[in-house]
Chain A
Amino acid sequence: MNGDIGLWAVPLAMLGGAIRVSTPFLFVSLGEVITERSGRINLGLEGTLVFGAMAGYALAYLTGSAWVGVLAAALAGSVFGLIHGLLCSLPKVNDIAIGIALMLLGTGLAFFFGKPYIQPVAPDLPAIDLGWWSDLPQVQAALKVNVLFIAGAVLAVALAWMLKKTRIGLTLRVVGDSSDAARALGISPSKVRILATAFGGALAGIGGAYLSLFYPGSWNEGISSGQGLIAVALVIFARWSPVWCFFAALLFGAAGALGPALQSIGITSGYYLSYAAPFVLTLIVLILSSSKSGALTGAPRELSITK
């Protein structure tokens, strides 16, 4: 058997694509779940993702270590999150608008500092071959799974456990559901929200580093067109549950892989249209999961997006 598996190539390429493409969605959405559970929304994660991709790539190139790149991206992301968190704790400052501004600033800074790194080649993140049991090169390619994907899956379960069973999780949920109740318990809502937003930013940064260090695996200005934004919308679909984020990320990854998968079997017409697939899917999901009253089931009550 050497490769001609006909139309099976499409679902296989989509599975492989889903695993490859979903990781940034997974990280951004997990970070945003924590942020939103605390009652704040950070729309700026798209900018954080792009800046994380640039910072991760630059540091990986300069140090020769992909993991240093991931760390740098996480650090840069947490700084963006911290800025968002701090600004939004000022009275009368709107978190959605600040998110838009930071989206612009993050992208701008990434392009500004990223210019010199478009040419050089940085080391890649390692991948694990989970397809060793098969002789089919397509299967092997599809199951070449990056370490970060596995880390993201583990993190999803860990965060779900954290939210449900730990004191930190309880604090987060109280703050997200009622600032007054939190204050009555002696918790400072704005402190919790600042930390939660910084954590969300750090994860979005890692999601960016995955883009530049593994798939597609190089830094350029078009590296993320809206993936951070899709991930933010995906949180609504996942009903603020980290485990659901994992499955939602896979679904959106598959949608993102549709175009390249079709192209691999020679269908090229409508190639540009296939770029729209994940956005159309996100919009449909948003429409279906919203409700006329504006109330979203499972949403933290302090979340400005539901008010």
Chain B
Amino acid sequence: MTGPVRDMRAWLVPLAGRVEGLILPVAALLTGFAVFGLFLLLLGKNPVEFYQLVYKAGFGTAFSWTNTLSRAAPLLFAALCVAIPARLGLVVIGGEGAIVLGGVMTGGLAAALAGWPALIAMPLLALMAAATGGVWIGLVGALRQWRGVNETIASLLMAYIAIALMNHLVEGPLRDPASLNKPSTAPLAETLRVGDLPGWNVHWGLAVGVVCCILAWVLIERTTLGFSARIAGGNVRAAQVQGLPVGKLVIGFTALGGACAGLAGYFEVSAVHGSANASLAAGYGYTGILVAFLARHNPLAIIPVALLLAGFEASSGLVQRRMDLPDATMLVLQGFVFVAILASETFTGRINLIGWLTKGDRT
């Protein structure tokens, strides 16, 4: 091998890794879309019309962007709940539970804080919602660390428990007698409602979500803590030999992820629904899993991916009406995309970009 080629390789190898990290998920995403298109075709529906409608209703007009952006906010938080623990190799998928409980905490506590000045009450509410989610998912990490309980199953079981708990609280102790058909907590005082971003028709949750993604990225990629977490996720024994506090990392990172999901619940109640009720269990936690996997657990990549999936969810209503499709259509699409994304993992490291780029230089 000659000198210049070796120099080229020095920057080509990491570049190829990055390109592959981008190409693979995009190709998998397109494959998922194509398979779903085929599925529609088999049912006698027009896939081109479907994707055109999604584009129009999700991203086509200022109004559709507003809709998409407000749906993206909870997805950002929900995806962080998966991506942050994933740094340690943990597959936490019960973010829905933390969202729901964060929302109930907000709805329940707001009544007690009604007379407080908003400047104190609002951050307190957000903090308590985050703490609720943090404790809930942190418990998953603690069970994993102390008892070796599988975090995937435990977090999902706890999501069901959380939803039962929410139904109990909203139907019983926290129920506002005035809420007749749809049992809810008392509506939040106007002063405690989270408003829109100045000049936008989208609530503050979006901005906070984006900031959280950036902070999570800094934590994971640019701090020793994030680096330690990666070592602990890769090889527990090596991490222990290095004297890294594996237990604290596991519990800390799961709790941090849970806190993000708790914030999603806070914004859903304080900016969208106005009170805590069953609509908190809207499935954002589950879509968030897909967002995190599509973004390969990179918090910065979560932002565009969340936007894309939020656009799909925002267009759901129009697509159903225009094409006479059931409301589970988007769930099916998400399923196909998810399977394609995971199956594409098999190609990691197998696309020989470098070999292809330096073809002919080999001796």
Q: Confirm or deny: B289 has a beta carbon within 8 angstroms of a beta carbon on chain A.
A: yes
> Which stretch from A109-117, A141-149, A174-182, A190-198 is at the chain B interface?
A109-117
Once the chains bind, are A290 and B171 in contact (CB under 8 Å)? no
Q: How far is the CA of A291 from the CA of B150 in the complex (A)?
A: 11
Q: Confirm or deny: A279 has a beta carbon within 8 angstroms of a beta carbon on chain B.
A: yes
Once the chains bind, are B331 and A107 in contact (CB under 8 Å)? yes
Q: Confirm or deny: A131 has a beta carbon within 8 angstroms of a beta carbon on chain B.
A: no
Q: How far is the CA of A114 from the CA of B165 in the complex (A)?
A: 29
Once the chains bind, are A90 and B343 in contact (CB under 8 Å)? yes
Once the chains bind, are B93 and A100 in contact (CB under 8 Å)? yes
Q: How large is the interface on B (under 10, 10 to 19, 20 to 34, 35 or more residues)?
A: 35 or more
Q: Residue A97 contacts which of B164, B326, B329, B342 (CB distance < 8 angstroms)?
A: B342
- Taking each of B93, B150, B331, B346, which has the highest tally of chain A beta carbons within 10 Å of its own beta carbon? B150
Residues of chain A from 152 to 186 with CB closer than 8 A to chain B in the complex: none
Once the chains bind, are A272 and B167 in contact (CB under 8 Å)? yes
Q: How far is the CA of A287 from the CA of B149 in the complex (A)?
A: 6
Q: How far is the CA of A115 from the CA of B43 in the complex (A)?
A: 15
Encode B319-338 as 1/0 by CB contact (under 8 A) with A. Answer: 00000001111011111101
Q: Confirm or deny: B91 has a beta carbon within 8 angstroms of a beta carbon on chain A.
A: yes
> Which stretch from A56-64, A66-74, A207-215, A228-236 is at the chain B interface?
A228-236
Once the chains bind, are A104 and B153 in contact (CB under 8 Å)? no
Q: Residue B154 contacts which of A43, A110, A286 (CB distance < 8 angstroms)?
A: A286
Q: A43-B153, A92-B346, A100-B93 are in contact. Are A292 and B146 (CB under 8 A)?
A: yes
Once the chains bind, are A283 and B158 in contact (CB under 8 Å)? yes
Q: Residue A101 contacts which of B157, B161, B326, B335 (CB distance < 8 angstroms)?
A: B335
Encode B86-100 as 1/0 by CB contact (under 8 A) with A. Answer: 000001010000000
Q: A291-B148, A294-B148 are in contact. Are A94 and B345 (CB under 8 A)?
A: yes
**Interface residue tally for chain A (C-beta within 8 Å):** 50
Q: Confirm or deny: A225 has a beta carbon within 8 angstroms of a beta carbon on chain B.
A: yes
Q: How far is the CA of A83 from the CA of B343 in the complex (A)?
A: 11
Q: A226-B157, A287-B149 are in contact. Are A104 and B346 (CB under 8 A)?
A: no
Once the chains bind, are A276 and B164 in contact (CB under 8 Å)? yes
Once the chains bind, are A112 and B165 in contact (CB under 8 Å)? no
Once the chains bind, are A226 and B160 in contact (CB under 8 Å)? yes
Chain B residue nearest to A100 (CB atoms) is B93
Encode A270-297 as 1/0 by CB contact (under 8 A) with B. Answer: 1011011001101100110011111110
Q: Whole-angstrom distance from the CB of B246 to the nearest CB of chain A?
A: 12
Once the chains bind, are B152 and A108 in contact (CB under 8 Å)? no
- Taking each of A83, A96, A106, which has the highest tally of chain B beta carbons within 10 Å of its own beta carbon? A96
A contact residues around B93 at 8 Å (CB): 100
Q: Confirm or deny: B208 has a beta carbon within 8 angstroms of a beta carbon on chain A.
A: no
Q: How far is the CA of A110 from the CA of B332 in the complex (A)?
A: 9
Q: Confirm or deny: A93 has a beta carbon within 8 angstroms of a beta carbon on chain B.
A: yes
Q: Confirm or deny: B290 has a beta carbon within 8 angstroms of a beta carbon on chain A.
A: yes
Q: Whole-angstrom distance from the CB of B362 to the nearest CB of chain A?
A: 26
Q: Whole-angstrom distance from the CB of B296 to the nearest CB of chain A?
A: 12
Q: Confirm or deny: A19 has a beta carbon within 8 angstroms of a beta carbon on chain B.
A: no
Once the chains bind, are A93 and B290 in contact (CB under 8 Å)? no
A contact residues around B179 at 8 Å (CB): none
Once the chains bind, are B156 and A229 in contact (CB under 8 Å)? yes
- Taking each of B143, B157, B158, which has the highest tally of chain A beta carbons within 10 Å of its own beta carbon? B157
Once the chains bind, are A92 and B348 in contact (CB under 8 Å)? yes
Q: Confirm or deny: B147 has a beta carbon within 8 angstroms of a beta carbon on chain A.
A: yes
Q: Confirm or deny: A298 has a beta carbon within 8 angstroms of a beta carbon on chain B.
A: no
A contact residues around B143 at 8 Å (CB): 287
Q: A226-B160, A283-B161, A287-B147 are in contact. Are A112 and B328 (CB under 8 A)?
A: yes
Q: Whole-angstrom distance from the CB of A263 to the nearest CB of chain B?
A: 14
Once the chains bind, are A111 and B328 in contact (CB under 8 Å)? yes
Once the chains bind, are B334 and A273 in contact (CB under 8 Å)? no
Q: How far is the CA of A283 from the CA of B156 in the complex (A)?
A: 10
Once the chains bind, are B172 and A269 in contact (CB under 8 Å)? yes
Q: A108-B332, A272-B168 are in contact. Are A283 and B343 (CB under 8 A)?
A: no
B contact residues around A287 at 8 Å (CB): 143, 147, 149
Q: Whole-angstrom distance from the CB of A94 to the nearest CB of chain B?
A: 7
A contact residues around B91 at 8 Å (CB): 96-97, 100
Q: Give B residues with C-beta under 8 Å from A.
A: 91, 93, 143, 146-150, 152-154, 156-158, 160-161, 164-165, 167-168, 171-172, 286, 289-290, 293, 326-329, 331-336, 338-339, 341-343, 345-346, 348
Give 3 closest A-B pairs by Cβ, nearest first.
A105-B335, A108-B331, A111-B328
Sample 21 A-B pairs with CB under 8 A, ordered by A number: A83-B339, A90-B346, A93-B342, A93-B345, A101-B335, A101-B342, A106-B335, A108-B331, A109-B332, A112-B328, A115-B326, A233-B157, A272-B164, A272-B168, A273-B165, A279-B161, A283-B158, A286-B150, A287-B149, A292-B148, A305-B153
For the complex with contacts A91-B346, A108-B333, 11 further pairs of A-B residues with Cβ separation under 8 Å are A43-B153, A92-B345, A93-B342, A101-B338, A101-B342, A104-B335, A111-B326, A226-B157, A272-B164, A273-B165, A286-B157
